[in-house]
Each structure stands twice: as C-alpha cells, then as structure tokens.
C-alpha cells in the first residue's frame, strides 16, 4: 500500500480516534473479565480467564499499531470490529476515509472469520 501523508490536523484526528477505539476495547474487555470472574466455579474457569487475557494482550498489542504507514489498515480493522465508527474519521481527507471504509468492508467478508 502506498504510504499516506498525514497533515497535522489529520494526525490529531487519528490520534483521538485511535485512543477512543482502544478505550472502547478496554471497556468491553473489563466488562468481559468481570463477567467471567463472576461465573468462576471450577479451577479451569480461572485458567480460562488467564488464557483469554493472554490472547487479548497479544491481540491488542499487535492491533493497536500507531505507525502512520499502518494506520489505514489499523482503522479499517477497528471499524470492522466495531471499536471505531466512521464518524470518528471526520477530519481525515476523503480519500483516506474511502480507503479505510473499502478495506473495512473487505475485511468484513474475510472467509477466515467463518
């Protein structure tokens, strides 16, 4: 993918959108952990929380990659997964928004998800 140029304004929009998505994902994760913890009955339930967090930690670390060369793809994924909304992209150049939306809709039909 051709590297995009990001204006100062766009960088501010991107940063805010990125942080908001991360916040949303953490909020959901906190809710999920509270729910899993409240249902712990067997030792295995405890290790399921551990396994789940091990995966989430890797996934979040990989996914939230704030390099401008990666951001179009990162945002597409965050939109596809529901952590970011198209409205969060307001302030980016239209061609970037279109690329993000187009990639997100491609990702949405990824056969690996089936």
Query: Which stretches of the chain bind its own copies, using CB under 8 A?
Result: 26, 29-30, 33-34, 36-38, 40-41, 43, 45-47, 49-50, 53-54, 57
Least Å from the CB of residue 33 to its own copies: 5
C-beta closer to its own copies: residue 6 or 52 = 52
C-beta closer to its own copies: residue 26 or 68 = 26
C-beta closer to its own copies: residue 17 or 89 = 17
Would you tell me how many other CB atoms lie within 10 Å of the CB of residue 78? 25
Least Å from the CB of residue 27 to its own copies: 10
Here the tokens at position 50 are: 């551990």
């Amino acid at each position: 993918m051709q590297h995009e140029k990001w204006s100062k304004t766009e960088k501010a929009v991107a940063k805010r959108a990125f942080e908001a998505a991360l916040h949303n994902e953490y909020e959901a994760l906190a809710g999920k952990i509270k729910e899993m913890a409240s249902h712990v009955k067997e030792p295995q339930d405890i290790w399921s929380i551990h396994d789940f967090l091990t995966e989430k930690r890797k996934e979040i670390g990989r996914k939230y990659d704030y390099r401008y060369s990666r951001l179009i793809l990162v945002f597409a994924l965050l939109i596809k997964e529901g952590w970011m909304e198209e409205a969060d992209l307001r302030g980016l150049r239209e061609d970037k928004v279109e690329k993000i939306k187009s990639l997100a809709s491609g990702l949405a039909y990824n056969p690996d998800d089936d």
